[in-house]
Amino acid sequence: MVPVILSITILVPGVVLGRGFLLALPYQGYANQLTCLVRAVYLAEQGNQTLLVPNVYPSKHDPFGEPFPFSRHFDLTDLFANVTVLPAEDFLGKHYVTGCLTFGKWTSFDRLGDPTRSFANTHHIEDLDVMADWPRNPTHKQVLEEINRKKQSVACIANLQHVHFGNIDDYINKIKWQDQKMHIDIAIHWRRGDFATACLNKNKTSCYPDISVLKSILLTECRGFKVQIFTNNQTEVEMELPEYRPIFGNLSLFEEMKLMTAAKMFYGNQYSTISRLVRVWRQKRGKPTIFF
C-alpha cells in the first residue's frame, strides 16, 4: 500500500478515535523520550486526540540496539486510562505525516538528534514547521492553540521535552514499573559526559560536582551497604575509585532507573531528567532523595 498524506480524519476499525491524532517524535535519550510520552498523553487528553505512541529509539547516550516498545519496561495502563492510543509505527506504515512543529534552536532533524532523525527517516517525515516567533520554552497552551489553528488530521511536534507544562507529577506517577527483581541499598546517579559543557551556565557545584563529592558520600554514607553508581563516565569512576565494584553490569538506562527508584537512598543531579523522574517516583513511595 502506498502511504497517503493525511488531509481528512481517518477511521480505524475497532477504535474509538478522538478529534484527530497527536504524534510526539522521539527526542534525545531514553528518559527524555519517556518524559515526551507523558507530556503527549496530557496534550492528547486536553485536545481530545488519539495518541500515536512511538517506540523508544537509541540515542547518543544509549547508541546500541534496536527500537523497542515502552511496554518492555513499563506498565502504562494507568497513564493511558483517559486517552485512546495507537502504535505509531503501525499507523505511519500506511500514512505520511507532514509539518512537525519545532522551535528555538531545533530547526532541523540534525539539531533534534539521532532518535528524532532516525524515526523521521524511517517513516518518511521530511519537513518541519519552525515556529520562529516562539520562545525557547513555549507553554503547552501555545502548542494546543497552534494545533487547533492548523487543524491537521495528525498534529506532530518534534521537541516536546522543551515545552513548559508546569507540574505533571501525577501523570509521571501513573507509570508503573514491570517486575523488579534486583535491589540495592544506595543508588548514586553521577551524571557526566555532555554535562561538562551543559553546566557552564548553571550552578556547577550541583550540576557538575567535583569527584571529591562522590568520594565523600562513599566514605561517610555507604560503608556496609550495597551501593551502585550509575554514570555515563565509567572511566572516571574506575580511575578515581579503584576500590569500588558495581553490583550489576550491562544494564539499560531504564533498568538503571528502576534500581534508582527502588533503592533505600538515592543521590542524584537536579539538572538531569533521569534524576528528576526518579525523585518523582520515589516521593510517591515515601523514599528519600538527596541532590548534590
Mean pLDDT per 10-residue segment, the chain (292 residues): 39 49 95 96 94 93 82 95 95 88 94 94 93 93 91 91 92 88 93 90 92 95 94 93 90 93 97 96 96 95
**Co-location of 155 and 217 in the same domain:** no
Q: Using CA atoms, how far apart are residues 39 and 46, in angstroms rounded to an integer?
A: 11
Type of residue at 244: Y
pLDDT at 3: 45
pLDDT at 151: 85
The boundaries of the domain holding residue 264 are 179-291
Say if residues 223 and 259 touch (Cβ distance below 8 Å): no
Within 125-222, residue ranges assigned H as helices are 140-150, 169-172, 195-198, 204-207, 211-221
The SS3 assignment for 136 reads coil
The number of folded domains in the chain is 2
pLDDT at 6: 40
**Co-location of 90 and 206 in the same domain:** no
Q: At 55, which CATH number?
A: 3.40.50.11340
**Co-location of 192 and 56 in the same domain:** no
- Which residue, 172, 203, 238, sits at the end of a domain? 172
Residue whose C-alpha cell is 575509585: 241
pLDDT at 81: 97
Q: At 269, which CATH number?
A: 3.40.50.11350
pLDDT at 88: 96
- Which residue, 154, 172, 190, sits at the end of a domain? 172
pLDDT at 1: 43
**Co-location of 27 and 75 in the same domain:** yes
**Co-location of 9 and 78 in the same domain:** yes
**Co-location of 154 and 185 in the same domain:** no
Rounded (10°) angle between helices 273-284 and 30-47: 70
**Co-location of 230 and 89 in the same domain:** no
**Co-location of 276 and 252 in the same domain:** yes
**Co-location of 214 and 132 in the same domain:** no
**Co-location of 87 and 103 in the same domain:** yes
**Co-location of 138 and 283 in the same domain:** no
**Co-location of 26 and 157 in the same domain:** yes
- Which residue, 112, 139, 172, sits at the end of a domain? 172
